[in-house]
Each structure stands twice: as C-alpha cells, then as structure tokens.
C-alpha cells in the first residue's frame, strides 16, 4: 500500500497547497525536498519522491518549516556601533561600506588579506567567483578542517577523488570506523541504503569507543581504545597482505605501490599481536575481521570524524581506504563509489581582461600545509594576530559560527576582536556575528533559489525554487554578492533580471532544460561503476595509490604510519573527552527551533557507571569537566554503552546571549576546554585531543 | 475493509524521531507529539543493546479510552476501526489517558485530549505521514488482514491484551 505515484498531487490537494521543489540545508547532505505552500505559508514538507534519494528526510529537515517564521531571525543589515551593540542600516549603506573597506584593505594590505569562510555552501559559487576572479584573493575556504579534513585528504591521496560515497544497499560486508551513519542522522539517503542492506543480511561491524545507534544495529561492536583505529587498520592490512587475501589481479592492474606497502608493513611489524595492547582489541579478532572483510564481497570500509578528530587521523583514514583498495572494493556495486559529478557550469563568467591576478599563494600553502584540502582554521588566529604567514585583515563568515564551532575558543574570540573588518552572513545573530562589524541577513533555504550538485552516487543536479518571500529584508547570497560586485566595477558580469537567468547558465550543459529541472527538482544522469577502467584517476600516477606519490613529493611519508594521539589521559586528567553529534539537532544551527528544543533542550556528557561510582556521580547530576585549558559544568548521563575511561559530549548547545530566547542559557559549550592540535599534513582539527578530570558539583 | 492498524519493527527502528515530527507537521500539532519515540538501553558493558519504540495510538479493537470517556467524545470508525476524538465534544476530562494501557492520549494546548488520527484525511492506499518518512521502513500501516503476510515474514506478532491493540510487533 505504499504507492508513491501521484503522491505529491494528492498531498497538494489535501493541503490546498502548491508544491515546489526545494533543497534542505539543515545539514550538508542536501536532501531534495517537496515544499507545500498555501497563502504564503509552508504547510508541509517532505523528501522529493522522484529523486534517487528515495524521499529521504530527517527530523531536522522536517522541523525546519519553523525557520521562515522565526521572529528572532536576523532580518536587517546590522552595523556594530559598540561591542555587542548594533544599529540597523540599509542594504545600500552595507554594500557601500563593504566596497569601501575592501578597496582600502586591498590598497593597504593586498587582496589576499581578505578571507571568506563558509560552513554549508548555499550559492557560495557567487562569492567564490567574485573574490577569487574579480577581487583577487585566493583565500576562499570552507569548514572542512572542522569536518572531514583527514578523510578528504585520505581519499584524494588514495583514489584521487574528493568525495567517495557509499553504495551500502548492494554491499554484503560493511565495516564502519568512527562513522555513526545511523546516529549522526545526516545523509539519510545513504542510511536508507544501509538499512536495506541489513534487511538483506549484510554484516555490519562497527568500531567506536561509544555504543551508538549504529553500534546497536551492528553484528559486532568493537569498543576500541580511542584514537588507535590506525593501529588496528594497519594490522588488518598486514593480515590481508601476508595471507595473500588481497585481490591480486586488481592490485597488479590498478594499484600503485603494493611492494613498498608490503615492505613497510613487514619492516614495522604492524601485526595484530602488535596492535592488540594499543587498541585493546584481541589479536584473534583483528585476524578474523581481516579475513572476513577480504573474503566477503562486495564490501565497504569507511570512516569519518571519529578518526579525523585525532591528530593521527590522516594515516588512520588512509589505511581504512587502503583496505578497500587491496581487496578490489572500489567503485563497484556495494563499494565506495567515486561519485560522478553533473556537468554544471558557473553562473557567472568573468572575461579574461577583467580577471584579477592572484599575487600570493593561498594561506594554507603559505602556512606550510600545501596538501591541506581546505584552510587549517585553527591556524587562522596567527595570521590575524601575528601576521603569520602573512597578514589577514578581513574575514567574511557565511553560514559559519567559529566562535562556537572551533576549539580553543578564547583564542578565536581574540582573533575576531582583532580583525580590521568582519562581515557575518547568517540567518541568526550568532556568537560570531555578534563579534563582527557587519551582520547581513541571508535568506533561508525556503526563501531563495539554488542549483547545485546533488550528493547521490551518480551525476545529479538538484534545484530549489523559492517557496516563500525572504523574511524582513533578508537576501539570498547571490543578491548580496551582486550588491558588492556592482559597486566594485563588476555589475556587468553580475547581471540578471531573475534567478532563472543564471540558473539557465548553470544547467546549460545538461541534456535537459531549466524548465525540466524546475519541474522535477532534479536531474539525474546514468550511474556508472568502475569508471577507473576508462579514465585514469586523479592521482599523480593515475592509479589507486597505496603509496602516496604526492606525499613523497612534499617530503611526507608516502606510506601510512602509526602514531599515538597527541594528548593522552594521565593521573591528573584521567579521562579522554570525545565529541559526538545529537541526532535531533544539527550542530549549532537548530537550537532556536522550539519543536526540536522540546525534544532535546540540553546537551550532556555520557559516562560509564563504573567510572562514575568512585567519584560519587549519579545519573542526572551536574558535573564539572576540567581540562588543562578550561572548565565547564554539564549534566551527566550514565550509560553502559561507553568505554570506561572515555567520556563523550554531545556537541551543539550552550548558547549564552545570542541566537534568540529559545536556547539561551541551556546546555554547555565545551569547546573552550579543547586546545589546538591539528594533523601536521592536513591541518585537520583534533577535537578529541582532550583530557579531562571530572567532579560532581 | 476490516480493522486497520500497524506493524512496528523494533529491530529496524533507529530512534531518529523523523516519524514524531512528520506526524506533528502533517497534523499541525506543533510540539504535542502524537508519535513519541523512546530509547531503552540495557545490558552491561560491553554487552549492550538499545531498543527504540515509536508509539502511536494502537487503534485498539476494544478501546478502553472509548469506554472511559464520560462525554462520549471518542468513537471508532465503522469502516476500519480507527479511534477518533471529537474535539468539539471533548472537555479535557483525561479519563481516557488513565484508561489507556499505553499512555497514548495527549493534552493539547487548549486542554483537550488529542492523539493519532491515523492521518484520517489521507485516502486509503497512501502511506501515513510517519510511515512515509521512516528511513528504515519500521512502520507499516494498513488493514490488519492485508498486512499480516508482511508481519509474518518479518517475524512480528500481534500484541495481546484485552484492549486488542491493532499492532503487530517485531521484537
């Protein structure tokens, strides 16, 4: 009785509404949606049924209909007149001020002293073109160092691809390392696939010190010693190589560096017996899992922040991807798929004569992180406060709130307060916006148009039609960039009479027209597997690299090594603090939603009862977490599903004054306890490099 | 059509609460949750299990809430046994809440009792709002006789008790 034919039309009729295609932007996985609007109000939303995302939708997206009506949203351009005090100004005044400051800073310091940061990237291509091609700064960056910096560099070095996705549904053996696929509650369309695989009898092995939702559905939970996944993965690799369980024809034809890898594993003796005391996983288990993984096909070994949150996460992640490569589990059905992109074009063309020349290397290169896939944001304060590697004078923060999301909060606030010019582009007056010279109201994802890559396995373009008008004077980013560009001599290039004009340019190379994409909300190309058989990969050798030739060129070890995490618990600070997500909220963005706050109004720390008992701590108590850097008070929940010696905080809450009345004073922000520890090659942030002591308050 | 109801698969449910909010959004109930979700963790480290339960009205065949209501605000739809509350008649007596073995009835902001209406404005053959959004297909709706083969295939059993809840449960 699950009939989806005509479902949208029926729902339209039932709600007396009109359906327009949309894109959800609560989390970065952008589920295509159907938005039902009646008399200017959104009355229902659901996942787009016709896209291969299978109508995916989560609680966060479902509750987001609150966003276009939230009276506490930023609605007008605001200029800071004193710390914490803002006055409303017109858009014209805001654009004039930005143009004036950008011109002055360029003359005095050079355009590269201006940095642009985004978290989720709605329409950011407009800002990218303007800043990099018109203004002349190379420093257009995202949030990857806080998110998947290690994973990104690992997959780039092994597969030459920035974003492999997961064909769970057709897989028979899935091993997840520090990726809580079902509990983080993002990329729901992939979770649908994982659930389907489990229904069909696929085996799931889950490696994590915490018993998460994903652990609860796994056949085996490996409660590994935190930050030691690299050792276990190297030991599994050793077994697969020594017992000749690798796919020999595949490795011979498509992989580079097998002989070097084998010699390296032998020389270091990365055996399961070596790994056992490090990981606290029995050697026999490591042997068995290696054999199972190598002989059950198709298989997936995957990782995400759980490994990247340690300073040793890059090599650990690379090794997990090497497990796939050695066993021939690459870009096939039931494997990690090297996602093919839709042939989308830029909405804006800058003629060669008007292109700015970029004079200095991008910040990440000048900082000494040439292979970093994105800016190592923990090193940005040095550039602002000490001019190293070169001065940064102005930062744009679009849809990003580093005053809350970055560790070493005190240093980040110091940096924000030292900037010569700062602009926040956001839907709320966030903690970061509150420190900026200008806060500009961006239109929410129901109030703007968007055409971009979808994240399904094959080529996919997704499109959003504005469902309701922007709230107050909020503007979509393309209108904000246009206002600045017009005042800086690029009005000709940033010209359109409606969003369809630039949208038509973006989809110009698709075999369908804009009207088709508008009607469906998406376009999908054919899904192709094993593309490496036709086209060399984006690695220096064109092959899958077990030996990272790009690393060797920069003087880094091209083979993965084991290193301990930088921070270790000790007698003074006996617990490791790890970070995880709330499934009902999305990071720092949904805490002004009263529906979601009714479900989960505060975050908490999770602790094993056998750790709590000697400290006199009971379930529901308030405790003080103290690291060498700082302290915070938070409520505790005791659970058996936590490795002793480890405590885990749900990230996202703890708003002081900003972001409205709903979250004010609720929850605890623990980032001030975490010091700066980054991976030396990728610059990825080590959020779990944190030791704490705990006492009841 | 005979008695209509649910299959719920505890093994599949990941406790993500999408059903809770899909229901609240479709039915316009804001923060009055007609389909709450509970998470239960049991065992001793490292042998731990988590079970998640998404709990709507079971539309019982012999609904105690109907018998308990002093103003007869509750009725059972003849065509399919769906139990409905007439908001105009309800006076917020809360006796239904005490009578229900499952704690289903909720007090709305106007002090009236409200609960799952089985998406009574959706025609037959369309998924219910909760069912439509569930990423694990843990929720199945329909005529109990028609969905019984699916229930059997998943190893589900009809929940017992004198109220005769219209629910197959996979444990």
Each residue of B121-130: pLDDT tens digit?
898 888 999 9
Q: What's residue A458's pLDDT? A: 97
Percent pLDDT > 90 in chain A is 90
SS (H, E, C) A647-668: EEEEECCCECCCCCCCCECCCC
- Would you mind telling me the total number of residues written for chain A in this entry? 697
Chain B residues touching residue A642 (CB < 8 angstroms): 45
Q: Is the peptide bond before A298 cis (omega within 30 degrees of 0)?
A: yes
| Three-state SS at A453 | strand
Q: How many CB atoms lie within 10 A of CB A242?
A: 14
Lookup result for tokens 């938070």: A634
| Three-state SS at A190 | helix
Closest chain B C-alpha to A216 CA, distance in angstroms: 6
Residue A242 has pLDDT above 60, yes or no: yes
Cβ pair A59:B17 closer than 8 A: yes
- Model confidence over B130-161: pLDDT tens digits? 999 999 999 999 999 999 999 999 999 999 99
Q: Say yes or no: B141 contacts chain A, CB-CB below 8 A.
A: yes
Listed residue (A407, A367, A358) closest to A387, CA to CA: A367
When pLDDT is cut at 50, 70 and 90, the band that residue A657 belongs to is low
Selected residue of B21, B47, B122, B137 to mutate for chain A interface (largest A Cβ count, 10 A): B21
| Three-state SS at A476 | coil
When pLDDT is cut at 50, 70 and 90, the band that residue A653 belongs to is confident
Q: Which residues contact A481 (CB under 8 A, 6 or more apart)?
A: A126, A127, A130, A494
- Model confidence over A469-518: pLDDT tens digits? 999 999 999 999 999 999 999 999 999 999 999 999 999 999 999 999 99
Task: Indicate the residue of B125, B133, B137 with minimum beta-carbon distance to A3.
Answer: B125
Q: Is the peptide bond before A389 cis (omega within 30 degrees of 0)?
A: yes
Selected residue of B1, B11, B17, B124 to mutate for chain A interface (largest A Cβ count, 10 A): B17
Indicate the burial class of A206 (C-beta count within 10 angstroms; 0-12, 13-18, 19 or more): buried
Its sign, for the CA torsion A652, A655, A659, A665, is positive
Please give the residue of chain B at the shortest CA–CA distance from A6: B126
- Model confidence over A419-438: pLDDT tens digits? 999 999 999 999 999 999 99
Tokens of A324: 């796939």
Closest chain A C-alpha to B50 CA, distance in angstroms: 6
Percent pLDDT > 90 in chain B is 88
Selected residue of B5, B14, B42 to mutate for chain A interface (largest A Cβ count, 10 A): B14
The secondary element (H helix, E strand) that includes residue A300 is: strand A299-303
Chain B residues touching residue A221 (CB < 8 angstroms): 46, 48
Across A183-208, average pLDDT = 94
Selected residue of A595, A606, A607, A647 to mutate for chain B interface (largest B Cβ count, 10 A): A595
Q: Cα torsion for A194, A195, A201, A206, to the nearest 10°?
A: 60
Cβ pair B132:A46 closer than 8 A: yes
Q: What's residue A109's pLDDT? A: 97
Listed residue (A117, A65, A106, A23) closest to A425, CA to CA: A117
Its sign, for the CA torsion A306, A324, A191, B5, is negative
Q: Say yes or no: B10 contacts chain A, CB-CB below 8 A.
A: no
Cβ pair B133:A57 closer than 8 A: yes
Q: Can you tell me the distance from the alpha carbon of A690 to that of A621, in angstroms, rounded to the nearest whole number?
A: 22
Q: Which residues contact A664 (CB under 8 A, 6 or more apart)?
A: A655, A656, A657
Task: Indicate the residue of A44, A223, A583 with minimum beta-carbon distance to B16.
Answer: A583
Residue B164 has pLDDT above 80, yes or no: yes
Task: Indicate the residue of B12, B24, B41 with minimum beta-carbon distance to A595.
Answer: B24
Closest chain A C-alpha to B10 CA, distance in angstroms: 11
Residue A439 has pLDDT above 60, yes or no: yes
- Model confidence over A385-421: pLDDT tens digits? 999 999 999 999 999 999 999 999 999 999 999 999 9
Cβ pair B26:A44 closer than 8 A: yes
Q: Which residues contact A489 (CB under 8 A, 6 or more apart)?
A: A134, A354
Cβ pair B14:A640 closer than 8 A: no
Percent pLDDT > 70 in chain A is 99
Task: Indicate the residue of B12, B28, B41 with minimum beta-carbon distance to A641.
Answer: B41
- Model confidence over B2-35: pLDDT tens digits? 899 999 999 999 999 999 999 999 998 988 999 9
Closest chain B C-alpha to A6 CA, distance in angstroms: 10
Residue A658 has pLDDT above 90, yes or no: no
Q: Say yes or no: B45 contacts chain A, CB-CB below 8 A.
A: yes
Compute CA distances B166 → A103, A532, B140, B150, whole Å.
70, 53, 12, 15
Q: Chain A, 603-622: which have a CB under 8 Å from a chain B CB?
A: 608, 610
**How many residue pairs from chains A and B have C-beta atoms closer than 8 A?**
115
- Model confidence over A516-572: pLDDT tens digits? 999 999 999 999 999 999 999 999 999 999 999 999 999 999 999 999 999 999 999
Chain B residues touching residue A10 (CB < 8 angstroms): 122-123, 126
Cβ pair B14:A183 closer than 8 A: yes
Tokens of A286: 């490591």
The crossing angle, in degrees rounded to 10, of helices A229-242 and A272-279 is: 170
When pLDDT is cut at 50, 70 and 90, the band that residue A587 belongs to is confident
Closest chain A C-alpha to B161 CA, distance in angstroms: 27
The crossing angle, in degrees rounded to 10, of helices A283-295 and A272-279 is: 120
Task: Indicate the residue of B24, B133, B142 with minimum beta-carbon distance to A1.
Answer: B142
Q: What's residue A4's pLDDT? A: 54
- Strands B4-9 and A691-696 turn out to be unpaired
- Model confidence over A49-92: pLDDT tens digits? 889 998 899 999 999 999 999 999 999 999 999 998 999 999 99
Residue A1 has pLDDT above 50, yes or no: no
Q: Can you tell me the distance from the alpha carbon of B139 to that of B146, in angstroms, rounded to the nearest whole number?
A: 15
The secondary element (H helix, E strand) that includes residue A405 is: helix A402-405
Q: Can you tell me the distance from the alpha carbon of A456 to that of A29, in angstroms, rounded to the nearest whole number?
A: 9
Closest chain A C-alpha to B14 CA, distance in angstroms: 6
The phi-psi region of residue B67 (left if phi > 0; otherwise alpha if psi is between -120 and 50; otherwise beta) is: alpha
Across A636-663, average pLDDT = 89
3-state helix, strand, coil in chain A (%, to 5): 35, 20, 45
Q: Say yes or no: B133 contacts chain A, CB-CB below 8 A.
A: yes
Q: Can you tell me the distance from the alpha carbon of A378 to that of A686, in angstroms, rounded to the nearest whole number?
A: 10
Cβ pair A45:B25 closer than 8 A: yes
């Amino acid at each position: 009785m699950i009939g989806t034919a005509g479902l949208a039309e029926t729902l339209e009729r039932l709600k007396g509404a009109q359906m327009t295609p949309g894109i959800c932007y609560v989390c970065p996985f952008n589920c295509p949606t159907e938005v039902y609007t009646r008399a200017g109000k959104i009355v229902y939303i659901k996942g787009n049924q016709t896209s291969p995302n299978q109508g995916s939708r989560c609680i966060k997206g479902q509750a987001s209909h609150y966003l276009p009506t939230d009276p506490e949203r930023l609605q007008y351009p605001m200029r800071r007149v004193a710390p914490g005090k803002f006055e409303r100004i017109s858009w014209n005044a805001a654009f004039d001020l930005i143009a004036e400051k950008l011109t002055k800073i360029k003359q005095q310091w050079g355009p590269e002293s201006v940095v642009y940061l985004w978290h989720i990237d709605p329409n950011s291509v407009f800002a990218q073109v303007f800043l990099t091609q018109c203004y002349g700064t190379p420093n257009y960056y995202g949030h990857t160092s806080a998110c998947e910096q290690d994973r990104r560099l690992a997959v780039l070095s092994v597969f030459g691809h920035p974003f492999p996705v997961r064909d769970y549904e057709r897989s028979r053996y899935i091993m997840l390392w520090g990726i809580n696929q079902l509990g983080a509650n993002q990329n729901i369309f992939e979770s649908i696939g994982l659930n389907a695989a489990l229904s069909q009898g696929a085996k799931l092995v889950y490696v994590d010190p915490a018993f998460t939702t994903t652990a609860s559905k796994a056949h085996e939970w490996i409660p590994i010693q935190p930050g030691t996944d690299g050792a276990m993965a190297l030991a599994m690799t050793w077994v697969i190589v020594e017992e000749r369980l690798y796919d020999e024809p595949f490795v011979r034809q498509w992989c580079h560096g097998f002989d070097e890898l084998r010699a390296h594993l032998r020389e270091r003796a990365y055996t399961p017996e070596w790994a056992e005391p490090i990981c606290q996983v029995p050697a026999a288990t490591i042997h068995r899992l290696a054999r199972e993984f190598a002989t059950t096909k198709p298989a997936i070994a995957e990782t995400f922040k759980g490994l990247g949150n340690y300073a040793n996460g890059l090599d650990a992640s690379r090794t997990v991807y090497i497990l796939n490569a050695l066993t021939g589990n690459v870009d096939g059905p039931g494997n990690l798929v090297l996602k093919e992109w839709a042939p989308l074009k830029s909405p804006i063309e800058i003629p060669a004569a008007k292109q700015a020349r970029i004079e200095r290397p991008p910040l990440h290169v000048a900082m000494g992180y040439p292979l970093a896939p994105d800016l190592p944001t923990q090193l940005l304060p040095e550039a602002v406060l000490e001019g190293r590697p070169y001065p940064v004078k102005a930062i744009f923060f679009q849809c990003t709130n580093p005053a809350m999301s970055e560790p070493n909060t005190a240093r980040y606030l110091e940096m924000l307060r030292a900037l010569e010019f700062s602009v926040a582009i956001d839907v709320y007056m966030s903690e970061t916006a509150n420190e900026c010279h200008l806060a500009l109201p961006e239109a929410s994802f129901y109030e703007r148009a968007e055409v971009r890559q979808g994240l399904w396995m094959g080529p996919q373009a997704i499109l959003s039609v504005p469902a309701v008008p922007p709230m107050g004077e909020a503007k979509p980013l393309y209108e904000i960039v246009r206002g600045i560009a017009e005042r800086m001599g690029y009005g000709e290039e940033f010209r359109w009479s409606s969003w369809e004009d630039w949208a038509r340019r973006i989809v110009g190379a698709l075999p369908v027209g804009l009207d088709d994409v508008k009607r469906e909300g998406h376009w999908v190309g054919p899904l192709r597997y094993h593309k490496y058989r036709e086209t060399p990969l984006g690695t220096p050798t064109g092959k899958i690299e077990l030996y990272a030739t790009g690393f060797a060129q920069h003087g880094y070890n091209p083979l993965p090594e084991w290193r301990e995490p930088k921070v270790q618990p000790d007698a003074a600070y006996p617990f490791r603090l790890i970070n995880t997500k709330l499934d009902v909220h999305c990071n720092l963005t949904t805490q002004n939603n009263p529906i979601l706050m009714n479900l989960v109004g505060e975050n908490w720390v999770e602790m094993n009862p056998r750790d709590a008992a000697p400290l006199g701590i009971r379930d529901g108590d308030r405790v003080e977490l103290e690291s060498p850097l700082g302290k915070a008070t938070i409520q505790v929940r005791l659970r058996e599903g936590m490795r002793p010696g480890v405590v885990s905080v749900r990230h996202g809450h703890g708003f002081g004054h900003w972001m409205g009345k709903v979250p004010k004073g609720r929850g605890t922000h623990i980032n001030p306890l975490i010091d700066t520890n980054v991976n030396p090659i990728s610059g990825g942030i080590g959020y779990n490099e944190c030791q704490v002591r705990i006492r009841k308050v | 059509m005979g008695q209509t109801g649910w299959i719920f698969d505890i093994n599949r449910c990941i406790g993500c609460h999408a059903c809770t909010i899909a229901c609240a959004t479709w039915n316009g109930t804001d923060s009055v949750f007609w389909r709450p979700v509970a998470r239960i963790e049991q065992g001793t480290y490292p042998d731990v299990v988590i079970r998640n339960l998404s709990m709507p009205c079971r539309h019982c065949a012999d609904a105690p809430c109907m018998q308990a209501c002093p103003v007869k605000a509750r009725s059972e739809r003849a065509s399919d046994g769906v139990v409905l509350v007439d908001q105009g008649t309800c006076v917020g007596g809360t006796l239904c809440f005490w009578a229900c073995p499952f704690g289903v009835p909720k007090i709305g902001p106007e002090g009236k009792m409200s609960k799952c209406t089985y998406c009574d404005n959706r025609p037959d053959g369309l998924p219910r709002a909760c069912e439509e959004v569930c990423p694990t297909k843990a929720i199945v709706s329909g005529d109990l006789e028609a969905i019984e083969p699916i229930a059997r295939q998943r190893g589900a059993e009809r929940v017992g008790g004198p109220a005769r809840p219209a629910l197959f449960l996979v444990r």
